[in-house]
Amino acid sequence: MLNKNLELPCGAILKNRLVKSAMTERISNKNYQPTNGHERLYSDWADTGAGLLITGNVVIDKKHMESAGNVVFDEEKMLPKLKTWAKSAVKNGNHCWVQISHSGRQTNRFVTGKPLAPSAVQLKKMGLFAKPKAMSENQVKEVIEGFVNAAKLAKQAGFTGVQIHSAHGYLLSQFLSPNTNLRNDHWGGSLENRSRLLLQIVKEVRAVVGDRFPISVKLNSADFQRGGFTEEESIEVVKLLDKAGIDLLEISGGTYEKLAFFLLNEEGNDMPEVKESTKRREAYFIDFAKKIRAVSKLPLLVTGGFRSYDFCNEVLEKGEVDLIGMARPFITNKDDISGFLDGKISQLENKVLRTGIAQFEDSAEGGFYARNIIRMSKGKAFKLNMNPVWCSMFLILHEFRKAMIKKI
């Protein structure tokens, strides 16, 4: 099943069921454009044989980046560089989709001290995020236009689809959550209103890219926070997305405050909200995918925890998911992916950086994988032995340096 192709509702065909899910690259140039590093990374990932590659956060607004190293899709003059990137990424008959995003209140202080968000609810994590300003009606409309323009540029450049990022606490996820959306206009309050922005973006992107171009949405199963976006609300949004005519739904979960999407869990030490049975079965969001199956026929992608060939084929055979998403193995086990697809490698070794200090685990792991992506973009090999303390400081130092370069 892992090597069986999949036809999406729009008619596009993925050559197999393995997906490289989104990971932030952090390597744009000072003009927010892709670099030779993007071409090298995606050429290498295309060579793994995966049927679909999804880019890291490509943002629509220079003032609201998830990382100071993000690429920004906002001007047609950058099309030559985008075309070169896209060409390298789809050279083996695979797809490569652009993940389009806006960070909202999760934009760090190095990028802006005046972020916009649905409401003025500050993200209080390590003092890295300023209090946001509630968006005006015109600013909401500008966000819609930004997503539409980015999707248009992605198609013009030769990318084969787009993913609209509405998970992990970024702007569209902020609109969905009653914790971060306190508005009393038609963008807030009821779930219908809170989901209006996402659905409007899907509608207008479809009008621009046409019926045969894949549109995916990444959606939280839940925020895993009291008073936040719940599983029940997520299922209702899935029903609306089904009617909106998207081609693929990726299920994830969590925000910067509850990093469900970020933690590995193979040792069962994290994410207490996730059932033990799910942990044992490797993929955290499988149980929620089953609930979606009961209300929607949308093709489903689940990312997180898949490491064994047999288990990937098992969940595909049972129809629990349609696509298997992996992220970190495309860093740590890149040279093994083709063998895994062929069934010659039965298990991908899980390589994790641990500090032994709970407060530093998230930042150390984040820095570890970020440093390795940057190494790979330069043609260097994956490096396992890295100093955990340095890795824990790396992201802040890297973001500061990148942001300062772009402000000079």
Q: How far apart are CA 100 and CA 122, in angstroms?
A: 23
Structural contact between residues 147 and 164, judged by C-beta atoms closer than 8 angstroms: yes
- pLDDT digit string, tens, across residues 158-184: 999 999 999 999 999 999 999 999 999
Structural contact between residues 121 and 228, judged by C-beta atoms closer than 8 angstroms: no
Q: Check residue 395 and give its pLDDT.
A: 87
Q: How far apart are CA 71 and CA 209, in angstroms?
A: 20
- pLDDT digit string, tens, across residues 197-253: 999 999 999 999 999 999 999 998 876 666 778 899 999 999 999 999 999 999 987
Whether pLDDT at 74 is above 50: yes
- Which domains, from first to last, does the chain contain? 6-407 (3.20.20.70)
Tell me the C-alpha to C-alpha distance, in Å, between residue 295 and each of 33, 43, 242, 288: 40, 38, 9, 12
Whether pLDDT at 357 is above 80: no
Q: What is the band of 260 on the pLDDT scale with cuts at 50, 70, 90?
A: very low
- What is the total residue count of the chain? 408
- pLDDT digit string, tens, across residues 100-118: 999 999 999 999 999 999 9
- pLDDT digit string, tens, across residues 13-25: 999 999 999 999 9
- pLDDT digit string, tens, across residues 363-381: 888 899 999 999 999 999 9
Whether pLDDT at 333 is above 70: yes
